[in-house]
């Protein structure tokens, strides 16, 4: 409670003097601000993220390095795992990939670059009344129902809409179920086996109440590939 390093109560007649004092004081405080910022940057901008990194590399390595998957569907702790072999890293369990062709389960439409471009994560940002988007949705509905052989009205909304990130790794169980017959036929597999595979890769809501039931498309397709070989 001892002193005030800037007693800036000035009589009304000394306004210009007050202003000058004010700017000198602000310059001095800015210099102090630089010193404070420097110390805090070392603590919060270097030591702290490195400490979190250390915890990750010791205890949660797979997650910290991007939840990477090998071609056989198993986990990889680093990107170089299996490099140069048939069983190299093919992507991340958390990041969707583009799949076209009858032999694959298809992901949601994506607005990230040309589709699932991780260097350009984005949604379409089209508005709720946008008529071009309405037309696009109708086109997608026709395409999907033709490809999967389902009634147009039954195509679930996730098959018709672009996600927020453009990298959504999931589709709804309904959309996966709808694709099972097409995939089984294209691969010459038993449809019941493919449907069972979908069920195996369906996750419910977290803790029973959080989020939505979902199927991870990359993991499902990797399992499918394993089953086919």
Partner 1 sequence: MAIGQISVLLIALAAVHLPLGAYLARVYTSPKHLRVERAGYRLMRVDADAEQKWSSYLFSLLGFSMASLLFLYALGRLQNHLPMSLGVSAFDPAGAWNTAVSFVANTNWQWYSGEAAAGHFYQMAGLAVQNFVSAAVGISVAIALIRGFQRSGTDGRLGNFWSDLTRTCVRVLLPMAFLGAIVLLATGVIQNFDSHTAVQTVTGATQSVLGGPVASQEVIKELGTNGGGFFNANSAHPFENPTPISNLFEIFLILVIPFTLPRTFGIMVGDKRQGWAILSVMSSLWLASVALLTWAEMSGPGAVARAAGGALEGKELRFGTAGSALFAAATTGTSTGAVNAMHDSLTAPGGGVAIFGMLLGEVAPGGVGTGLYGLLMLAIVAVFVGGLMVGRTPEYLGKKIGRQEITLVALYILTMPLLVLVGTAVAIATPAGQAGIQELGPHGLSEVLYAVTSAANNNGSAFAGLTAATPFYNTLLGVAMLAGRFIPIALVLALAGRFASQRTTPTTAGTLPTHQPLFVGLVAAVTVVIVGLTFIPVLSLGPIVESLT
Total residues at interface with partner 1 (CB under 8 A)? 114
Interface pick for partner 1 out of 12, 56, 146, 198 (rule CB under 8 A): 56
Please, which residue, 157 or 192, has the CB nearer to partner 1? 157
Contact between 201 and 223 (Cβ < 8 Å):
yes
Interface pick for partner 1 out of 14, 20, 34, 146 (rule CB under 8 A): 34
Interface with partner 1 in residues 187-226 (CB under 8 A): 205-212, 214, 218, 221-222, 225
Interface with partner 1 in residues 154-193 (CB under 8 A): 155-158, 160-172
Tell whether residue 12 is a contact of partner 1 (CB under 8 A). Answer: no
Determine phi and psi for 216, rounding to 5 degrees. -85, 115
CB of 193 to partner 1, least distance (A): 19
Interface pick for partner 1 out of 102, 138, 143, 190 (rule CB under 8 A): 138
Please, which residue, 99 or 185, has the CB nearer to partner 1? 99
> Within a 13 Å sphere around the CA of 137, how many CA atoms are in the beta-carbon half?
17
CB of 189 to partner 1, least distance (A): 17
- DSSP-assigned beta bridge partners for residue 203: 214
- Compute how many other C-beta atoms are within 10 angstroms of the C-beta atom of residue 67: 15
Which structure tokens are listed for 197? 């595979």
- Compute how many other C-beta atoms are within 10 angstroms of the C-beta atom of residue 96: 25
Tell whether residue 85 is a contact of partner 1 (CB under 8 A). Answer: no
Please report the sign of the dihedral spanned by the C-alpha atoms of residue 199, residue 167, residue 103, residue 100: positive
3-class secondary-structure state, position 180: helix
């Amino acid at each position: 409670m001892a002193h005030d390093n800037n007693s800036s109560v000035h009589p009304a007649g000394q306004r210009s003097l007050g202003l000058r004092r004010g700017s000198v004081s602000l310059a001095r405080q800015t210099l102090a601000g630089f010193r404070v910022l420097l110390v805090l940057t070392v603590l919060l901008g270097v030591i702290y993220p490195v400490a979190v990194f250390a915890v990750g590399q010791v205890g949660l390595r797979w997650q910290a390095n991007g939840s990477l998957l090998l071609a056989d569907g198993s986990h990889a702790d680093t990107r170089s795992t299996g490099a140069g072999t048939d069983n190299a890293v093919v992507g991340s369990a958390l990041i969707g990939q583009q799949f076209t062709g009858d032999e694959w389960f298809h992901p949601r439409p994506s607005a990230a670059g040309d589709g699932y471009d991780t260097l350009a994560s984005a949604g379409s940002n089209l508005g709720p009344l946008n008529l071009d988007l309405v037309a696009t949705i109708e086109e997608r509905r026709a395409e999907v129902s033709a490809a999967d052989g389902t009634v147009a009205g039954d195509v679930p909304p996730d098959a018709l809409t672009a996600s927020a990130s453009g990298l959504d790794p999931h589709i709804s169980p309904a959309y996966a179920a709808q694709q099972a017959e097409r995939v089984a036929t294209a691969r010459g597999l038993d449809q019941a086996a493919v449907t069972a595979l979908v069920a195996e890769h369906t996750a419910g809501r977290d803790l029973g109440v959080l989020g939505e039931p979902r199927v991870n498309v990359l993991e499902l397709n990797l399992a499918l590939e394993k089953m086919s070989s």
